[in-house]
């Protein structure tokens, strides 16, 4: 039996991944490469939906790829590639654009949030059709499951709708994917505003823990994380959202269940607990940072790995697109 397939993507829009990306997505990617036929891409086509400096995009795409490998993706086992290297993503996105209703696309909350931020007229059409390109990424590889954080749920719903609609209109073509979301880490929140998700585009620097950050600033940020009234370490999302977020982080990084952590810190106050959280973060990030730096030291080798990944991805993408083209009614190219 063939292994089930997973696909996921991450945007090269910052100089480092953050703790939310790592716990909500990348860590699961690493685990799933053991059991699944895994495809993971750096989604540079998505990154240009907002204004991006070419030099920054180039640098961040390599930094993203290097971090994925440094976090434990093995290019022998998982196909790691850059989205724009596989032209079929854009081609399928166009066809899916033509299957999507304006109203349906307009309901996507990420677009609404981002266009509110940049201003309706400054937001690009690409930003509007962003989720449709994401659907293309997933459907192109006939993925069974898609490991992501909670913020991607709505895009996954759209992907399923578009896949089903296409299958219904043109005949069975696409596998309909399931989201793979781990409840405990689906939404890591901003250290300064525990009501908001940790986000590269909207968190303040003090609210975000970057994977490539040095231990000093990481420790400082955890120690300065907003905590709640009272002094007891308790898991209470409603009344203690800050401490609950730190408990979730500590539990995910150490493997110790939250109730055991609560018992461990009973009567000790926030200080000791935060110090331990800071150490757990530093311990998790330091080896990834060091490996990333090493990988970035040899760009030619990194580019070679990405070229090999793209080659493997293309083989699958071409197969799907040949079928899609035929089903839609495009003439064969002789």
Tell me if residue 114 is catalytic: yes
Instruction: Out of 197, 221, 240, 274, pick the active-site residue.
Output: 197
Question: Which C-beta is closer to ligand TYM: that of 10 or that of 265?
Answer: 10
Min. distance of Cβ 197 from ligand TYM in angstroms?
4
Angle of helix 299-328 relative to helix 153-170, nearest 10 degrees, comes to: 40
Tell me if residue 200 is catalytic: yes
Min. distance of Cβ 253 from ligand TYM in angstroms?
14
Cα separation of 206 and 220, whole Å? 9
Ranges assigned E (strand) in 157-269: 178-180
Tell me if residue 197 is catalytic: yes
Min. distance of Cβ 276 from ligand TYM in angstroms?
21
Instruction: Out of 114, 221, 240, 274, pick the active-site residue.
Output: 114
Residues sharing a CB contact under 8 Å with residue 186, sequence separation 6 or more, in sequence order: 24, 149, 150
Strand partners, 10: 42
Q: Which two tokens stand for residue 272?
A: 């000791």
Which CA distances in Å does 320 have to 136, 234, 326? 11, 50, 10
Name the residue with the smallest CB distance to ligand TYM.
Answer: 24
Site residues (vs ligand TYM, CB under 6 A): 7-11, 20-21, 24-25, 43, 46, 134, 137-138, 146, 148-149, 151-152, 155, 186-188, 197-199
Half-sphere exposure of 306 (CA within 13 A, CB side): 25
Min. distance of Cβ 183 from ligand TYM in angstroms?
11
Min. distance of Cβ 2 from ligand TYM in angstroms?
20
Question: Which C-beta is closer to ligand TYM: that of 181 or that of 265?
Answer: 181
Cα of 76 vs its chain's centroid, Å: 21
Question: Which C-beta is closer to ligand TYM: that of 209 or that of 265?
Answer: 209
Buried b / exposed e across 130-146, counting CB within 10 Å, b at 16+?
A: bbbbbbbbbbbbbbbbb
Instruction: Out of 112, 183, 187, 200, pick the active-site residue.
Output: 200
- Other beta carbons within 10 angstroms of residue 106's beta carbon come to 11
Cα separation of 91 and 206, whole Å? 40
Cα separation of 65 and 70, whole Å? 9
Q: Which two tokens stand for residue 138?
A: 């997933």
Min. distance of Cβ 43 from ligand TYM in angstroms?
4
Question: Which C-beta is closer to ligand TYM: that of 13 or that of 265?
Answer: 13
How long is the chain? 334
Sheet holding 78-82, edge to edge: 78-82, 37-42, 5-10, 145-147, 178-180
Catalytic amino acids?
A: 114, 197, 200
């Amino acid at each position: 039996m063939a292994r089930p397939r997973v696909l996921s993507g991450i945007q090269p829009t910052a100089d480092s991944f953050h703790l939310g990306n790592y716990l909500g997505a990348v860590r699961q990617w690493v685990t799933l490469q053991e059991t699944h036929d895994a495809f993971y891409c750096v989604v540079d086509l998505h990154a240009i939906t907002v204004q991006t400096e070419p030099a920054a995009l180039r640098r961040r795409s390599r930094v993203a790829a290097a971090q994925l490998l440094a976090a434990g993706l093995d290019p022998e086992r998982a196909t790691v590639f850059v989205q724009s290297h596989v032209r079929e993503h854009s081609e399928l996105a166009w066809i899916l654009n033509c299957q999507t209703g304006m109203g349906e696309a307009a309901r996507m909350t990420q677009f609404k949030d981002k266009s509110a931020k940049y201003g309706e007229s400054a937001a690009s059409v690409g930003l509007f059709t962003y989720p449709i390109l994401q659907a293309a990424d997933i459907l192109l590889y006939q993925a069974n499951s898609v490991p992501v954080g909670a913020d991607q749920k709505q895009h996954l719903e759209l992907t399923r709708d578009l896949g089903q609609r296409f299958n219904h209109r043109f005949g069975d073509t696409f596998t309909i994917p399931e989201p793979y979301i781990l409840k405990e880490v689906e939404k890591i929140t901003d250290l300064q505003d525990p009501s908001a998700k940790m986000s590269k585009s909207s968190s303040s620097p003090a609210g975000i823990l970057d994977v490539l950050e040095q231990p000093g600033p990481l420790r400082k940020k955890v120690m300065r994380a907003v905590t709640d009234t009272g002094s007891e370490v308790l898991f209470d999302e409603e009344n203690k959202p800050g401490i609950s977020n730190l408990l979730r982080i500590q539990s995910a990084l150490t493997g110790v269940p939250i109730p055991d952590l609560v018992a461990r810190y009973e009567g000790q106050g926030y200080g000791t607990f935060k110090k331990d959280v800071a150490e757990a973060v530093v311990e998790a990030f330091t080896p990834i940072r060091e490996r990333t730096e090493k990988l970035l030291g040899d760009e030619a080798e990194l580019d070679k790995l990405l070229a090999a990944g793209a080659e493997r991805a293309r083989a699958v993408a071409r197969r799907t697109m040949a079928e899609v083209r035929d089903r839609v009614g495009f003439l064969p190219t002789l």
